[in-house]
Structure 1
Amino acid sequence: MDKTPEPEDPITPDALAAEVQFVRGPAEPETMAEKEAAYERFVWDNLKRNYIGNYLHGMLGMTGFRLVNAPTFLPAYLHLISGSNTIVGLGMALQQVGSVISPIFGATQIEHRKKVMPAAIWMGGLARVQIVGMALAGWFLKGQPLVIAMLALMFLFGLFMGTQRVVFGLLMAKVIPLSRRGRLQAWRNATGGAIAAVLAYAAGKYIIKANLFGNGYSTTFMLAAFLTTTGLWALQFLLREPEPPNLPERTPFKDRLKDFPKLIMSDPGYAAFLVVQMLATAARIAAPFYAIYVTSSLPLAAQVLGLGALSLAFLGADTASNIVWGYLGDKTGFRLVLLVSLGIWIAATVLLMTLHSPAMVFLAFFGLGAAQSGYMMAAQTMILEFGNRAEMPMRIAISSTAEGITASIGPLIGGFVADKLGYGVVFGISIGFLAAALVMLVAMVKEPRTARLAAM
């Protein structure tokens, strides 16, 4: 007996769409607005994990880097092995020279990439290798070879730190929303600063003074390398990086250099901010000589405080002030943070020059630490708020290069001036640059967050 075939289900538009969806998988966003919305959803969906990763990386990484970059241990070690302020200035200058061109190279290597974390691991890892090299040089070299090795390692350290700054700045901008960046930096800098302050005090008293493992400075550098590497591992394990919906095409290095004038002048606010950065960086001409000035010219303060207490004051100020800087920046924008930090920097330098009791010297170093941490947070965050996302890597690179140019010249001149004319002249020049930066900031730079909202 023949069976009458059952009629097939009618193919409706919804059924057809379901079939297509099953074959193709989830529909991809089609318009740029949809792609941007998907990008934002990814950022917010993964915010907790990325926040923790950036926090651990910043806390551990900055703890280690502060032991190297604080104006105490490394300048004091160079002075110890060379006996020359000029060599101290040369070392600081070489470190900055390394960071002049490398940010631009780093930006050209990542601005067209969907994922930049692999480059971050390489560039960050190579920076950490140089700290290990400093430790090994101190243990195995003596005399002039040690001085030459330290100068070469400082140059390479600056070279890779320049590229690292661009990569990690872009990473934070990609995964941390604007409204959360200040408090993230506040807490990671505060906890990292607390650890660094305690470690700096302990390093000065129990490692360097005791000459632990045959060279206290080398032991301190190796400890710094371990901390920074642990932070990098934490970020690599935790970070989930989104893919931007639009990316610029890869441009040759030489051609990208030609875009600099246009990129700078297209935003007058950023151009003025760049000048402020260069003036403030030039003011760091005095930074390598703060501790040397105390140990060589203020015997009472040097005897009472020592390098450990000076480092504790400088890095402890970072801890105490970062919470204020971060939350203030999130609430008002970071222009106000930059303005206040420049003012404190001037006041602390004047205090160091004029009042020489141990308590006042400690307070001056506390002020210098608070001011420079506020400046660094404001400068690094404001860069991310000018212009558009596509130009962000190159904008960070331009600022890093501009800072590197002035920072490389400053310490070299500072060392020569300190030897010939004394530390007071160096500090006076620093105050002059800071005052000029403060005037420029007030007169020419508007809060980029407010300006962008007004333009929308």
Structure 2
Amino acid sequence: MTDNTAELAYQAQVQRDLPRNFVVHLVHGMLGQTGFRLVNTPTFVPAYILLLSGGSDFAVGLALALQALGSTLTPMISANLVGHRQRVLPMGIVTGGAMRLCVLALALAGFFLPQNVALYAVIASLGLFGLFAGMQIVVFQTLLAKVIPVSNRGKLTGLRNFLAGITTALVAWYGGHYLLGEPPSVIGYSWIFLISFGLTSAGLLFLALVREPVPPTVAARQRLWQQIGSVPHFLRQDPQFRHYVVARALTTMGRMALPFYILYAGASIGLSGQTLAVLTIAFTLAATLSNLVWGALADRSGFRVVFLGSVLLWIAATLALLLSREYWAVIVVFVGIGAAQEGFRIAAMNMTLEFGHRDQLPLRLGIANSSAEAAGALAPLLGGILATLLGYESVFLAATAFLSAGALLLILRVPEPRQRH
């Protein structure tokens, strides 16, 4: 079979299995993201750590920095493990399962350990969660790129995240009103994380129904140190991708503000279970509804436009919180942050898929994700230091500066990747 014939046969199989794989990814993403959003939203985990630590902003920053550090260390390892494989789904099941066990550990620590010991267990669990998350995203994005054509990714991402947002909002409402307690308790948070584990585990089981095609070519197998050593040359060969990596890392530094939005607002409106539920619902519903807009915009104009639009919205919401901490103003701010975070997340992930040849995709994902998560590891730690020494306002201003720098670099040096094809 000639190379061209093999490629045509591969594309034909992708189209033939697209309806099934679209539905499988939709359901897997809805269940998985519902659970992981309960962990990653800037409400429950920061407030949980603040409670366990007795009110330490530094502990909040440290825990989230370790989570991001874990995500920094493993994408290149994951890229090395799957780059030469014809099928990547089995590796995804392994890494995804390990990631879910870390969420279970968040719950069990609160149920069974003394509060001071639970703090260390939670921090360790978040670090391990980051390690496996860094591996999982490379595997799952490689799988998605194989089975979902680029013209359908915006639609899938938007609809998947829309459904996940609805279920997350429902679980957050139930958790805030019936599980957390007044005032919120360690056991209440543990129940929420136990629900997260159940939902994400169900989604992972559903992913086993994917029909993964065998590509006509894969990258040659390399040792990890050889692959890492090739990164500088790889980046020199593709300056647009290099600038994208830097722009994404700069904007990711804006995450330094995420855990402190709720703490800053809580200083004036309180951190009751009902308040946490309302703000989490505002955050998730905004992300939910915005997905339909971001997805449609991406399919029509590309993910670069979504990237820039989401960053501008993120900047506006951050500055708005500095202007008012009235209850309704805080809700509006969390709506803006939720929509911005969702747009940035789907744009950053999907732009990476569009820069080069399919065989190089795991390496591109490894480079882009490691760089972004390195910034994500530094960001909350720097945010915690700034919050402790200079106050929350300095964190928000620094985050705004990084977001602006990343957006400017993308505007000036990174054209729409789809124009390359």
TM-score (norm 1): 0.90
Q: 1:285–1:413: 8 Å Cα contact kept in structure 2?
A: yes
* Structure 1: tracts of 5 or more residues without a match: 1-29
Displacement of 1:385: 0.1
Displacement of 1:93: 0.5
Q: Quickly say closer, same or farther: Cα 1:88–1:303, change in 2 above 3 A.
A: closer
User: 2-side partners of 1:303 and 1:393: how far apart?
Assistant: 43
Q: What do the CA deviations read for 1:116-139 (whole angstroms, capped 9, x no partner)?
A: 111000000000000001100111
Q: Which residue of 1 aligns with 2:397?
A: 428
Q: What do the CA deviations read for 1:18-51 (whole angstroms, capped 9, x no partner)?
A: xxxxxxxxxxxx1100000000000000001100
Structure 1 residue 123 and structure 2 residue 98: aligned? no
Structure 1 residue 444 and structure 2 residue 416: aligned? no
- Alignment identity in percent? 41
User: 2-side partners of 1:359 and 1:305: how far apart?
Assistant: 14
One of 321, 342, 351 as aligned partner of 1:373: 342
Q: 1:305–1:358: 8 Å Cα contact kept in structure 2?
A: no
Displacement of 1:303: 6.7
Q: 1:185–1:326: 8 Å Cα contact kept in structure 2?
A: yes
Q: Which residue of 2 aligns with 1:161?
A: 133
* Structure 2: tracts of 5 or more residues without a match: none
AA partner of residue 426 (structure 1): V
Structure 1 residue 225 and structure 2 residue 194: aligned? no
Tell me the number of residue pairs that the alignment of Structure 1 and Structure 2 aligns.
Answer: 420
One of 360, 374, 398 as aligned partner of 1:391: 360
Q: Secondary structure at the match of 1:46?
A: helix
Displacement of 1:96: 0.7
Q: 1:248–1:390: 8 Å Cα contact kept in structure 2?
A: yes
User: 2-side partners of 1:195 and 1:176: how far apart?
Assistant: 24
Q: Secondary structure at the match of 2:74?
A: helix
AA partner of residue 376 (structure 1): R
Structure 1 residue 97 and structure 2 residue 69: aligned? yes
Structure 1 residue 40 and structure 2 residue 34: aligned? no
Q: Quickly say closer, same or farther: Cα 1:246–1:63, change in 2 above 3 A.
A: same
Displacement of 1:175: 0.2
AA partner of residue 124 (structure 2): A
Q: Which residue of 2 aligns with 1:76?
A: 47
Displacement of 1:265: 2.0
Structure 1 residue 354 and structure 2 residue 346: aligned? no
Q: Which residue of 1 aligns with 2:57?
A: 85
Q: 1:341–1:372: 8 Å Cα contact kept in structure 2?
A: yes
Structure 1 residue 401 and structure 2 residue 370: aligned? yes
User: 2-side partners of 1:284 and 1:200: how far apart?
Assistant: 22
One of 163, 174, 179 as aligned partner of 1:207: 179
Q: 1:212–1:219: 8 Å Cα contact kept in structure 2?
A: no
Structure 1: 4+ residue segments shifted above 3 A:
210-214, 301-305
AA partner of residue 107 (structure 2): A
User: 1-side partners of 2:97 and 2:242: how far apart?
Assistant: 32
TM-score (norm 2): 0.97
User: 2-side partners of 1:110 and 1:302: how far apart?
Assistant: 44
User: 1-side partners of 2:112 and 2:355: how far apart?
Assistant: 47
Q: What do the CA deviations read for 1:414-452 (whole angstroms, capped 9, x no partner)?
A: 1111111110000000000111111111111100002x2
Structure exhibiting the larger radius of gyration computed from Cα positions:
1
One of 132, 137, 143 as aligned partner of 2:104: 132
